[in-house]
Amino acid sequence: MTKFQYTCETPNDFVGGDVYSNDLETIENYCIEMGEEHGYSCVRDIDGEIVFDYGDIMDMVEQGIV
């Protein structure tokens, strides 16, 4: 099984699910696109730490999504 270095999570994207990559620049660009489309998105490293995020997570908290 392949282990990816990064995971992009978009809490408000109920259809797409998480996206995985080993290239930080590529997944950051994807995160920006998803954040613009869905309000918030973040990239976590293999240890689960957020290394990049885009958008307003507080809006997601207010909606009860996160």
Q: How many residues does the chain have?
A: 66
Those residues with Cβ within 8 angstroms of residue 51's Cβ, 6 or more apart along the chain or in another chain? 6, 24, 43, 44, 45
Q: What is the pTM of this model?
A: 0.87
As given in the structure block, the two tokens for residue 5 are 């270095």
As given in the structure block, the two tokens for residue 3 are 């282990």
Rounded distance, CA 41 to CA 27, Å? 11
pLDDT score of 63 more than 90: no
DSSP lists the bridge partners of residue 54 as: 41
Task: Give the model confidence (pLDDT) of 9-30 as tens digits.
Answer: 998 887 878 999 999 999 999 9
